[in-house]
Amino acid sequence: MSRLQTSHLSRRKTLLGMLLVEKGLLSSKQLSEVLEEQGRTGKYLGSILVQRGYLAEGKLLEVLAEQLGLPYAHLSTFPVEPAALAKVPVKLATRYRLLALRLENNSLHVATADPFDVQTLDELRLLLNCEIKPVLASQREIQEAIQRHYGVGASAVEQLLDTAIHAANPVAAAEDLTAKADEVSVISFVNQMILSSVGDRSTDIHVEPFDRLLRIRQRVDGVMYEVPVPQDLVRLHPAIVSRIKVMAKLDIAEKRLPQDGRIKVRLDGQELDLRVSILPTTYGESVDIRILSSSMLYSLEQLGLNTDHLEILRTLIHRPHGIIFVTGPTGSGKTTSLYACLTQLNVSTRKILTIEDPIEYQLQGITQLQVHPKIGFSFAQGLRSMLRHDPDVMMVGEVRDPETAEITIRSALTGHLVFSTLHTNDAAGGVTRLLDMGIEPFLVSSSVLCFIAQRLVRMVCPKCQELKEVTPELLRELQAIEVPQNLRYGRGCAACKETGYQGRTAIYEFLMITDELKTLVLRRASSHEIAQAAQKSGMRTLRQDGWQKILRGLTTPEEVLRVT
């Protein structure tokens, strides 16, 4: 760049600072501080403003666009032409940190966060042999758009395919796969895949091979979403699986049997526990990575319980003995609720033991056991040994068989407070499930304190929520009594990825084993009769509890109906 261009840009940046002061976005004192740091470090004025928190990047770019007479674009909603994307290879887009938007004759409109980087724009002009017209956009939106349009890790995939790692038949011997797993590009791709999923608040990453296709999906707020990936990614499937196996310390030579492992990673000071499960399928090995974070441990107050349910649960967990069962399908938050109860009870005067498969989170001060069926260490075997350690509180990860159910119930009858889970559709189904296992009705009625059914529903996005008229059909299906004219819905925005939902909360059903219900249990009444009697006594069903959260603007009727 010539001395004349440098001088011109310097004047432009100084004028930008003065314009920000004129608009009241920056004080004269702040401008002086920033200019002083710029003279000392040589950094861009805008970078210093954003780093110091004086101005948001988006607002800075809007003012800069006004000053330079350039267009400004929000890339989350801006239409991108496929022809423009095809003009710029992913390697160039990633290296120069820009995105092609529109191609007009021989002029290419590209999104950039730094219009002063004339050298990059000149290089791109020479490489593509076309005129470059800059459009201002935030760096974060450019990075997200590159990932969205080119696919996760597209640059790493292109680099790999350029190095002849892809062959007509990518399946190789174990030693070759080890070499593949050590390639920088494979490491880069897997890291990008995990980082992207964590950034999207995913709980699971699924790598699924099919005929001529490798699909990557994320589960966000309980719903599966497909991740855009390069079409040629299927050629790198063995290398990707091998890299994950190396990280999880699994056998990369074994492709015929399922394998389970774990990976410990640190991201932005937060430690994540990644649970890896590998299944052999027709087209290769399918991988599921469950993302667990210590930030997912909640207190009772954070579980989303209504006031009355919270008081009931607080009373129950301080009972000296008995069983509290949490019911629901896989992924409904049962273990999270039990951990919250144990955390509340975790004091030095109590001995707390758990037996789980697997241990989801490490709880300080609580002794946790992992079952190992292959060596004969089952739930039932572990429970017998746990009783010899004089516990006050016990947690059984899941009651799966009659033997475990019977030992769990007898533990409660001998003076222990026990928590456990059952896979049933509602709270009343917990009673019939135990009876179907062969447990005597008198044991159930005398040991169980409460059955708690729960589901997770997505919450309305707080950044794009708006009032919307609700259809009568939905209200009839929910059997709503108190009907407002409008309910809160998410319109869809960049924060919630246009879904209208962000985060989850739980809805509950508390079935207390009262004297009336004990009588019904003793005569082996059906779950329908038990549910009806409980509702007459004041029990709210899952849908009724969901309706209360709908009225509070937390979720929508469609969500409650989806999970119930």
Backbone φ and ψ of 17, nearest 5°: -60, -40
Per-residue pLDDT at 154: 64
DSSP state of 209: E
The answer to whether the beta carbons of residues 115 and 12 sit under 8 Å apart is no
Using alpha carbons, select from 490, 487, 488, 486 the residue that is nearest to residue 463.
Answer: 490
The arithmetic mean of pLDDT across residues 101-111, rounded, is: 86
Using alpha carbons, select from 217, 168, 175, 173 the residue that is nearest to residue 197.
Answer: 217
Using alpha carbons, select from 350, 326, 352, 338 the residue that is nearest to residue 448.
Answer: 326
Model confidence band, residue 206 (pLDDT cutoffs 50, 70, 90): very high
Per-residue pLDDT at 59: 74
Model confidence band, residue 376 (pLDDT cutoffs 50, 70, 90): confident
**Which residues pair with residue 323 across a beta bridge?**
418, 448
The arithmetic mean of pLDDT across residues 487-514, rounded, is: 89
Model confidence band, residue 182 (pLDDT cutoffs 50, 70, 90): very low
Give me 490's structure tokens: 């998410």
Give residue 71's identity as a one-letter amino acid code.
Answer: P
% residues pLDDT > 70 (the chain): 88
Model confidence band, residue 1 (pLDDT cutoffs 50, 70, 90): very low
The answer to whether the beta carbons of residues 248 and 261 sit under 8 Å apart is yes
3-state DSSP assignment of residue 33: helix
**Which residues pair with residue 466 across a beta bridge?**
489
- Cα separation, 323 vs 316, in Å, equals 9
Backbone φ and ψ of 419, nearest 5°: -115, 140
Model confidence band, residue 159 (pLDDT cutoffs 50, 70, 90): low
- Among 52-61, 76-85, 522-531, the minimum mean pLDDT is found in 52-61
Strands 393-396 and 352-356: parallel
426 dihedral zone (left: phi>0; alpha: psi -120 to 50; beta): beta
Q: Which residues, 6+ apart, have CB-to-CB distance to 540 below 8 Å?
A: 508, 509, 510, 548
3-state DSSP assignment of residue 44: coil
Mean pLDDT highest for which of 62-66, 146-150, 241-245? 241-245
- Cα separation, 372 vs 95, in Å, equals 48
Per-residue pLDDT at 168: 35
Per-residue pLDDT at 165: 43
pLDDT, greater one: 143 or 549:
549
pLDDT, greater one: 37 or 546:
546
The answer to whether the beta carbons of residues 93 and 99 sit under 8 Å apart is yes
The arithmetic mean of pLDDT across residues 538-548, rounded, is: 90
| Strand stretches in 239-374, DSSP E | 259-267, 270-281, 284-293, 322-327, 352-356, 367-370
The whole model's pTM is what? 0.73
Helix (H) or strand (E) holding 144: helix 139-150
The arithmetic mean of pLDDT across residues 309-313, rounded, is: 94
- Among 329-343, 375-389, 448-462, 466-480, the minimum mean pLDDT is found in 466-480
CA distances from 81 to 99, 140, 484, 540 (A): 11, 20, 43, 52
Per-residue pLDDT at 177: 33
pLDDT at 49 over 80: no
212 dihedral zone (left: phi>0; alpha: psi -120 to 50; beta): left
Q: What is the DSSP string of 475-510?
A: HHHHT-SS--SEEEEE---TTTTTSSEEEEEEEEEE
- Cα separation, 344 vs 317, in Å, equals 9
pLDDT at 76 over 80: no
Model confidence band, residue 345 (pLDDT cutoffs 50, 70, 90): very high
The answer to whether the beta carbons of residues 248 and 321 sit under 8 Å apart is no
Average pLDDT value over all residues in the chain: 83
3-state DSSP assignment of residue 176: helix
- Among 34-38, 396-400, 405-409, 451-455, the minimum mean pLDDT is found in 34-38
Q: What is the DSSP string of 291-317?
A: EEEGGG---GGGS---HHHHHHHHHHT
Per-residue pLDDT at 535: 92
pLDDT at 38 over 80: no
- Widest CA span of the chain, in angstroms? 95
pLDDT at 523 over 50: yes
Model confidence band, residue 375 (pLDDT cutoffs 50, 70, 90): confident
Per-residue pLDDT at 299: 87
pLDDT at 505 over 80: yes
- Cα separation, 174 vs 305, in Å, equals 51
Per-residue pLDDT at 484: 72
pLDDT, greater one: 202 or 471:
202
Give me 407's structure tokens: 């030992």
pLDDT at 218 over 50: yes
**Which residues pair with residue 262 across a beta bridge?**
275
- Cα separation, 245 vs 243, in Å, equals 5
The arithmetic mean of pLDDT across residues 11-34, rounded, is: 69
The answer to whether the beta carbons of residues 416 and 321 sit under 8 Å apart is yes
Give me 538's structure tokens: 């004041």
% residues pLDDT > 90 (the chain): 32
pLDDT at 360 over 90: no
pLDDT at 317 over 90: yes
N-terminal to C-terminal alpha carbon distance within the chain: 64
- Cα separation, 545 vs 480, in Å, equals 11
Q: How far is CA 532 from the centre of its chain?
A: 36
Per-residue pLDDT at 90: 77
CA distances from 446 to 258, 312, 514 (A): 41, 19, 10
pLDDT, greater one: 394 or 96:
394
The answer to whether the beta carbons of residues 144 and 151 sit under 8 Å apart is no
Each residue of 107-158: pLDDT tens digit?
888 888 887 778 888 888 888 888 888 888 888 888 888 877 777 666 666 6
Q: What is the DSSP string of 60-83?
A: HHHHHHHHHT--B--TTT----HH
Q: What is the DSSP string of 432-491?
A: HHHHHTT--HHHHHHHEEEEEEEEEEEEEPTTSEEEEEPPHHHHHHHT-SS--SEEEEE-
Cα-based angle 521, 524, 528 (whole degrees, multiple of 5): 85
Give me 28's structure tokens: 């004269």
- Cα separation, 113 vs 148, in Å, equals 18
